[in-house]
Amino acid sequence: MANRAPEPLAGQKRTAIVLETLDLSVHFGGLWAVNGVSVAIESGGITSIIGPNGAGKSTFFNLISGAIRPSSGRILINGWPARSSPSKIRAQGLARSFQITNLFPQLSVFENLRLAAQILEPMARGILPVRMSSTAEAKAEALLTRFDLAHRAERLAGELSHGEQRRLEIAAALASEPQILLLDEPTQGMSHGDTQDTKALIKSLGGELTVLLIEHDIELVMDLSKHVVVLHQGSKLAEGSPAAVSANPEVQAAYFGGQ
């Protein structure tokens, strides 16, 4: 229940925009890490945020997920103002993964997922034996299978290989059944084979929910995205279809030009 996003007010314009930022900015001291970014993300599919290092991509994610507060501007989730903390924003239906793996290393792989799915359970089950939380358990098992981690279920998350930890990182974000999923460089540091598997996974996720993806692998971005937003020095440089963005001379100068 906690998962369901509130319906927009009656009479309000019904749109398929699930996530919107309006003139979103944040500065750290004198540096405007994100500067007046306005984007509207439509429901479903994969939208990628690209840009060179330091363009403000991860900061943009941190703003949307409530990890840091904006200096100015607004964030709307399903037409409603984003609330003030990560846990409340998760309740609005938004979940995220992290660029630097952010798991519970001393807990088992299964427990990492079970814990992440616990939010699906009624509060009262919090003080009953763990086994009574059957929804969370089933969710964790389904994710273990889907992310090919079932044979690792009882291992500690910290004992997994890098690629497995990256997969678990995505699975944990997915466990709370979000409507909007932010993936921050999910394939970072993965081998070529792992990247290809993960790519297929992300593609399948795009068919189920709205995915926002930060990714450096341009080939992957171009193959998966329906929409691409280019950030450069904290500002939005361009957005559009993958083809339109890669043909944009400004983008080529700022981003592709360097490669």
Largest distance between two CA atoms of the chain: 60
Q: Is residue 86 a contact point for other proteins (CB under 8 A)? A: yes
Among 46, 95, 168, 170, binds other proteins (CB under 8 A): 95
> Closer CB to other proteins, residue 14 or residue 131?
131
Query: What is the number of helices (H) and of strands (E) in the chain?
Result: 9, 10
Non-local CB neighbours of 130 within 8 Å, separated by 6+ positions: 114, 137
Under DSSP, the state recorded for 7 is P
Residue 96, classed as helix, strand or coil, is strand
Q: Is residue 87 a contact point for other proteins (CB under 8 A)? A: yes
Q: Is residue 146 a contact point for other proteins (CB under 8 A)? A: no
Q: Is residue 153 a contact point for other proteins (CB under 8 A)? A: yes
> Closer CB to other proteins, residue 15 or residue 134?
134
C-alpha distances out from residue 54 to 109, 143, 169, 229, 233, Å: 32, 33, 23, 15, 7
Measured CA to CA, the distance from residue 17 to residue 100 in angstroms comes to: 29
Mark 154-193 with x for binding to other proteins (rule: CB under 8 A) and - for no binding.
xx---xxx----------xx-xx-----------------
Binding site for other proteins (CB under 8 A): 2, 65-67, 85-88, 90-91, 95-96, 98, 102-108, 110-111, 114-116, 118-119, 121, 125-131, 133, 136-137, 140-141, 144, 150-151, 153-155, 159-161, 172-173, 175-176
